[in-house]
Amino acid sequence: MIDTQPAVHTHRPDAASGLPDSGSPSLYGREGDLALLEHLLDRAQEGRGSALWIGGGAGLGKTSLLTAAARSARRRSMTVLSAAGVEPESHLPFAGLHQLLLPLRAEAVHLEPRQRRALRAAFGLEDTAPDLFGIALATLELLSEAAGNTPVLLIADDTHWLDQPTKDVLAFVARRVDADPVVVLTASRTDAPGHPGGSGPGHLRLRALDSTAAGTLLDSRSSRLAPAARALVLAQAAGNPLALVELPRALADATPTGRLPDLLPLNERLERAFTARATSLPHATRVLLLAAAAETGCEFGQLLRATQIVVGTRVDAAALQPAVDEDLVHPDVVRVRFRHPLIRSAIYARADIAERLAVHAALSTVLANDPDRYVWQRAAATLGTDEDVVTLLEEFATRARARGGVTAAVEALERGSTLTALLPRRTSLLLGAAELACELGRRQDAADLAARAEPAHMGPVAHARMTAVREIVSPGPMGEESRVLTLLEASAQAHEAGHTDLAVHLLWRAASRCWWGNLSQNLREAVASAPDLLGLPPDDPRLLAIRAYALPERHGAAALAHMARLTPDRSDADVMRFLGSTALILGDFRTSSSYMATAAESCRSQGRLALLARTLGAGNWGRLWTGEWDRVRTESEEAATLAEETGEHFWAVSATTNLAMLAALRGEHALAEALALEARSSTHVTGVRFLLVSIQQVRGVAAITAGRYDEAFDLLKRAFDPSDPTHHDMRWWTAPDLADAAVHTGRQDEARRILTGLDALAHRLPTPMTLMCLRYTRAVLAEDDEAGPLFEEALAEDLDQGPLYRARLLLAQGRRLRRLRRPADSRAPLRQARDIFDALGSPHWSNVTRQLLRAAGEDSQQRRPAARDHLSPQELQIATLAAAGLTNRQIGQRLFLSHRTVGSHLYRIFPKLEITTRAQLAEALRTIPLGPGQSPPGQPPVL
């Protein structure tokens, strides 16, 4: 029988913390750092949140600072939540989050049902697939609820060893606590992989103590050291508080001469010092410590049973006392907690292989009823290969992925690959791990895993999977045509092996390359014809997208015709994205806006933030031309933030390009040029001609609004030069801007020559954008005696898809009539143009139009800035949703904010809009008259 009632006694205060023996909370040399923590706690008591990462090498005092913060918070009656990462639990999804939130389980009843289910799924209490960002939002709301009673301090130590889902949730929360009385403190070692790094107000890097503080700490702990020994310890500790405490104890036993081996790294010297103290312990104690180091999540009784299995004799709680006496562990009666992570790693790393295998085997026996921990202990106890253990790891990966622990699934498949003797199975496991790493955006990890898979042991499907992985992790230059041929070959192999979905996915990748890189006609032909062999229905959204992306001029009209007849599943975000992106590249912006909005809503509801970033980044380019500028502004800002947060950096560049064009269209040419330069400087746009021509158009429009018309013309005409990097099929969309620049520089003949072919394009691909570009340029570039009917024809058409171009046509017509000395006739089109520009929110063109009206004899009051012009993008987004009737909680769920943050924004919004009630929001946001085709804020466009 095992005695689980411990007879463990406290020996001395926490020496490893570097705190004085008296228990005083002061930390030598850390006064400035402590003052910063006190400031953050003061802010929380004032209702403002903060987040701070504390980094540094082992032993520099990260944990001591966190302990001091917790002590201060408790004195202030704040709620303190804490967790610490431990290496053996790093593969258990949401293990760290469970530690943190356990004290708030009573408050969870106040969450709305969907959020309660999300947390229960994360902790394995509900049989549903957890959604990482849904869990993150539920965590934020739970903290916000708790902070409504008393400010909250959340502490996560050793985050480099926390499971990845917990780290993701913490990062999500840390970015969103500004308006809640919540302080998030995290700490990690800077020599550990995956630490946050960085600098700035949210980062605190601990440095070594200066000589004065180091000497004071050493003297407080080891006052009887001889001068020579004191100097030796100070030199070798190099200002490390843990070393200053521990090295004196090791000095006497280190060598016959009393010298420490000074060529070893400090961490290794400390580990040797800890190991030396453990070596003298009784055998049962050493085994108990090794078991605790191998499985930190075990309860004390489980560790005792595992120890008894290894030593073969009765073991009781007294076995822990010698380790407590040596200051290696805390006197905890529930779990064995090491005084410092280096102690745990030293004990585990310096145990011989036979001891480790025996302890892991014993732990697997003790944990037989805990399938997740059991499988990892079985794997650790395996020397050589074991196909049964590989199967267990595959099953664990399936469970982990279903619980949102994709990182843990990657680790399990990778570990399984080292334990199988079957080379095809090893290859499949590595490919599976690489595919999951791609899902996480961990491209380098995916590349490393894929590189270990051996092509010699791949069948056709494995080769196709490898091709798909490589396309994500190392796409290479977008104009590399050999990659498209590889994708076509892999797609054919996948189809022949019966994996049609994989074949379609590879073709979609190939078609995307054709569009983004503006590849050769022969290659486009091959990609567009490849789906013929797959047997897809003619209205399959993937088929429509592949053919339109590959050969838009040939298949675009048919694709739009199919879409007009479709009744798609609007709950399927992927279907909506295929259809929306297809309509976008073909120039049907109203249809695109509708489908992409639906896709975005689906992504929001599912918490797929990476996909949401991509959808918003792409979808809002078309809205620039449909006049939904408020939406472009808010959603592009949101897309940029989410893209950086989720690692979708390319789509952050795309969103920045949207914002640059919006600035150019508003006449904010300096801002537009700065944003265009930022986008153009990104490594993510190399060879991506669709984005390059978009950036070039931004620069051209910015030059137009700055009055630099010759520069604008020269910038824009480059897109029509096949040898120029900005040349792309989408160049025709720049035609109206080229025409405007031509008129102001007398280069109409040159513009007409450049735009030869636009007629034929509009005939082959009669989409709203191509037809609008054709009618616009015909009218603007026509000779005065021929222009009248062309303006009438263009303005008689339905230009609601492009209110900006309608207004610019009216402006051009007014200019022409004034030039013909018909000022009275010019007033009507100029008046209409002014009203549309005002409604759009384009100060530049509004002012230009007013000047022309005054010259034509009609005074026009200056446009009063709308109240909403004073709101930030996020404030405008929140105000618009609140005006539509959404509650703070509903807005928070939609924008992934806490409801208190939403309330804080509204508190600042009301004075800016000069209103006092929520009911006044809608009217305040409609203070500018709407132009033709515009929808009120918060309402979707009508198709």
CA distance 133 to 408: 17
Residue 807 confidence class, pLDDT cut points 50, 70, 90: very high
d(CA 811, CA 805): 9
Amino acid residing at 451:
A
What tokens does 593 get?
């806006």
280: pLDDT confidence band, cut at 50, 70 and 90? confident
What one-character-per-residue DSSP string does 30-52 give?
A: -HHHHHHHHHHHHHHHTT--EEE
The Cβ-side half-sphere exposure at 163, using a 13 Å CA radius, reads 27
Average pLDDT of the chain, as a whole number: 85
Residue 200 burial by Cβ neighbours in a 10 Å radius (0-12, 13-18, 19+): exposed
Q: Tell me which DSSP letter residue 861 carries.
A: P
Taking residues 108-131, report their average pLDDT. Answer: 76
What is d(CA 231, CA 247) in angstroms, rounded to the nearest whole number? 12
List pLDDT tens digits, range 595-642. 999 999 888 877 778 888 889 999 899 999 988 998 999 999 999 988
**% of the chain residues with pLDDT over 90:** 48
Burial class for 805, CB neighbours closer than 10 Å (0-12, 13-18, 19+): buried
Which amino acid makes up residue 505?
A: H
Looking at residue 931, its pLDDT comes to 35
**Cα separation, 683 vs 695, whole angstroms:** 14
Amino acid identity at 866: A
The pLDDT tens digits of the residues spanning 234-263 come to 887 888 888 888 778 766 555 444 454 443
Report the distance separating Cα 739 and Cα 762, nearest Å.
17
Burial class (CB in 10 A: 0-12, 13-18, 19+), 746: exposed
Q: State residue 339's pLDDT score.
A: 80
Point out the least confidently predicted range of 372-376, 389-393, 755-759.
372-376
Please name the residue ranges forming H helices in 474-551.
481-496, 500-517, 521-529, 541-550
How do strand 50-56 and strand 203-205 relate by DSSP bridges? Answer: parallel
Q: How far apart are CA 584 and CA 607, in angstroms?
A: 24
Q: For residues 325 and 340, what is the distance between their CA atoms, to the nearest angstrom?
A: 15
Q: What integer is the mean pLDDT of 106-127?
A: 79
Residue 193 pLDDT class (50, 70, 90 cuts) = low
- Residue 266 pLDDT level (bands cut at 50, 70, 90): low
- Cα 189 to Cα 53, 60, 445, distances in angstroms: 11, 9, 21
Residue 435 has pLDDT above 70, yes or no: yes
**Residue owning tokens 């703070």:** 888
Residues near 824 by beta carbon (within 8 Å), at least 6 away in sequence: 856, 857
**Type of residue at 248:** P
Q: Which two tokens stand for residue 368?
A: 């037989």
The pLDDT of 686-708, averaged and rounded, is: 93
| 670: CB partners within 8 A, 6+ apart | none
CB 12 within 8 Å of CB 327: yes
Query: H or E stretch including 293?
Result: helix 283-294
Is a pLDDT exceeding 80 seen at residue 200? no
Beta bridge partners of 55: 188, 205
pTM above 0.75, yes or no: yes
Res 11: pLDDT: 34
Among 51-60, 72-81, 234-243, 250-259, the least confident range: 250-259
Q: Which residue has the higher pLDDT, 797 or 294?
A: 294
Q: What is the mean pLDDT of residues 437-448?
A: 81
Integer CA distances (angstroms), 741 to 305, 676, 699, 748, 806, in order: 83, 19, 12, 9, 17
In which residue are the tokens 């396309």 written?
Answer: 471
| Strand order, beta sheet including 182-189 | 79-84, 152-157, 182-189, 50-56, 203-205
Asked if residue 406 has pLDDT above 90, the reply is no
Higher-pLDDT residue of 201, 105? 105
Looking at 132-265, list the stretches that DSSP marks H as alpha helix, in order from N- to C-terminal side: 132-147, 164-174, 211-221, 227-237, 241-254
Contact 673, 699 (CB under 8 A): yes
Q: What is the pLDDT of residues 120-160, one digit of tens each?
A: 877 767 666 667 778 888 899 999 989 988 999 999 998 98
Measured between alpha carbons, how far is 188 from 202 in angstroms, rounded to an integer? 14
Give 335-373 pLDDT, tens digit per residue.
788 887 778 878 888 888 999 999 999 999 999 998 888
